[in-house]
Structures are given as C-alpha cells and as structure tokens.
Amino acid sequence: MKENEKLPDVQSSQPPAHFKLTRVGVTKVKKLVHVKRPDAESVITLPTTLDIFVDLPASQKGSHMSRNLELTTEIVETSKTKPVPDLETFCAEIAGSLLDKHDYATFAEVKAKADYFLGRKTPSGREEIEPYKLIAEARAERDGKIRKLIGVEAVGMTTCPCAMEVIRALTGNKKSVAVPTHNQRNISTLMIEVPGDSTVVEANDLIDIVEHAFSSPTYGMLKRRDEGELVLKAHENPKFVEDVVRDILASVLKRYGNLPDDTIVIARSESEESIHKHNAFAERVTTLGELKK
C-alpha cells in the first residue's frame, strides 16, 4: 500500500461551521538553516524559529499542515548543499511553495527569527563577537507576487535627555560638565522590505543603523577605561526611545531612499527603564514614500 493511499483525508472534508480562516498553520518550528551571503567566504548555520501560515476557505475543514513541514524540511535539506543567500529569501521560497502545495489558499505567510552573531570593535579597538537577532518575513499571493522583509533586533544603551536637563537645572552645572541621568538597556528592531532579487539590503548594515541610533552600542567585554569612556560618550548623546526610532528612520531614508515608495519600513525601540518598573516604547510602521513626505 502506497503512502497515504486509501487513508482518510479528514482535512479535505466539509467543516461543520462554514467560515474562512485568516491564518492556519504551524508555529515555533525549529530548523537549522544554512546561509551563505554572496560576498561571504563561509557558510553560517542559523538555528531558526519559524511560523508558517496559509489562509483557508470556508469550504474546507482543515489545512494540510504536514505539507508546510514537508516543503520546509526539503528547502532546509537543500540548503545543506546549496545554502540560501539570506533568511528572507529562505522565507520567500517557503511562502511560494506553500501556495503550490495548498491550492485552496490565496496567500501564504512565513516568519523567521534566528540568533545571529557579528564582529564588533569596542571603544579601545578590541575585537568582540556580539549577539543579535535576525528577523525575516515573506508573504506570497496567488498572483505570484511575493513581498519579503529582513530585519534585525539589537540591544544597546539609552541615556535620558529629560532627567539630564532637569539635573543640570537642579545642580546649576554648565553644558560642558557631564551630569548624571538615568540610562538603561534598550532593545530596538528595524525591518525593511527587500525588493525582488536585490542584495541592496544587508542585515549587517541594518545592525549598524540601529547601533548608531542608540546613545551607545554595548559590548560583552569592557575593561575599566573602555567602560568609563563608553558611559561618558553615551552621556554626550542622550536619547529618548522616540529619538532612537527617528534616527533609525533618518538612516534608512538616507541609505535606502532610492528603493520604491511602497517599501515597508518598521522601526521599534523599547527601554527597560531603570527608574521605573515598566518600559518606554516607540514605533513607526510606515513606507519609504511616507517617510519622504
């Protein structure tokens, strides 16, 4: 008896309640994806967590979720010998295949998140490998159109401009004197839509953009002098979460302003406030066209 032959296909039967569903699929799928950037010497492996969805018409009881896994496994398997160029292309490939395998679906959506490490230089020039997150998304529609986004999540430091000015007022210190303020761990995200088969957007560049928007990047390892200089520098560059998001947007516009006006841009910044038990948050969800206005 052949695989699945004569076995009941419950998913394809009529559902008792006739409603279409917006998203049906699998979440928290873990795969090891092999990636090689066009200009990189070696392959890196990304332990990636995936969410994989299609929509479902009212006439069908269930989505064949095992197909989502089957095609993902195949694409991952292929990446071992022929690495994918980037995580967003990997997502786009899955999204495209989903529409082939689920002929009842009108769109497919794939989201990926992976640990990522990148070489950085501390203020004193010491080499460090710092941890980040890569985020990718792809959305395929029945007309063949696939939109894909690449993004990064980075951790840095923000020093509060408001408390700094208040303390300057309270202490009577001049602008030339560094005064204290509260500062905290900040987690910021930048996602940008990537056109067709272009390599114009590099995740490493997005990390640069985000880290430049902090009061200061942070590092795994800082000797005493490094630490003192980093803190002083961060105090010369105080930032609200609002400033972090806007400075990210300004860099995006400068660097990627030539991309199409409908290019999606998402920037988000959250500070784990040291003077509060809650967080401060800012975000902008927009397009390049809107940013140019």
Candidates 94, 88, 84, 90; CA nearest to 44 is 84
134 Cβ neighbours under 8 A, 6+ residues apart: 46, 87, 112, 113, 114, 116, 150, 151, 152, 203
Q: How far is the CB of 184 from a copy of itself (least distance, A)?
A: 5
- CB-wise, 106 or 279, nearer to a copy of itself? 279
Is residue 146 a contact point for a copy of itself (CB under 8 A)? Answer: no
Among 229, 237, 255, 264, contact with a copy of itself (rule: CB under 8 A): 229
Query: In this complex, which beta carbon is closest to a copy of itself, that of residue 206 or of residue 267?
Result: 267
Dihedral sign, Cα of residue 200, residue 147, residue 247, residue 86? negative
Minimum distance, C-beta of residue 261 to a copy of itself, in the bound complex (Å): 16
Find all residues with CB under 8 Å of 72, minimum gap 6, and list them. 29, 31, 50, 52, 94
Q: Is 3 in the site for a copy of itself (CB under 8 A)?
A: yes
| Count of residues engaged in binding a copy of itself, rule: CB under 8 A | 116
As measured in angstroms, the least distance from the Cβ of 196 to a copy of itself is 27
Q: Looking at beta carbons only, is 146 or 235 nearer to a copy of itself?
A: 235
Q: Is 234 helix (H, G, I), strand (E, B) or coil?
A: helix
| Nearest residue (CB) to a copy of itself, 2 versus 144 | 2
Distances from the Cα of 17 to the Cα of 11, 59, 151, 215, angstroms:
14, 9, 38, 54
Q: Which two tokens stand for residue 129?
A: 């490998």
| Residue appearing with tokens 């067709």 | 196
Is position 278 an interface residue for a copy of itself (rule: CB under 8 A)? yes
**How far apart (Å, rounded) are the C-alpha atoms in residues 61 and 16?**
8
Tell me whether strands 44-56 and 264-272 are parallel, antiparallel or unpaired. unpaired
**Beta pairing partners, 84:** 35
Contact letters for a copy of itself, residues 185-204 (x by CB under 8 A): x-------------------
Please state the closest distance from residue 157 (CB atom) to a copy of itself, in A: 5
Residues 16-45 that bind a copy of itself (CB under 8 A): 16-32, 44-45
Q: Within positions 98 to 117, which residues make up the interface with a copy of itself, using CB under 8 A?
A: 115, 117
Residues 46-75 that bind a copy of itself (CB under 8 A): 47, 51, 53, 56, 61-63, 65-66, 69-70, 73
Q: Which is nearer to a copy of itself, 141 or 227 (CB)?
A: 227
Residue 197 CB, nearest approach to a copy of itself (Å): 27
For a copy of itself, which residue of 223, 257, 261, 262 counts as binding (CB under 8 A)?
A: 223
3-state secondary structure of 161: helix
Cβ–Cβ under 8 Å, residues 185 and 271: yes
Question: How far apart are the C-alpha atoms of 44 and 33, rounded to whole Å?
Answer: 8
Residues 235-274 that bind a copy of itself (CB under 8 A): 235, 240-243, 245-247, 249-250, 270, 272-274
Q: Which stretch binds a copy of itself (CB under 8 A): 3-11, 101-109, 138-146, 191-199?
A: 3-11
Contact 273, 182 (CB under 8 A): yes
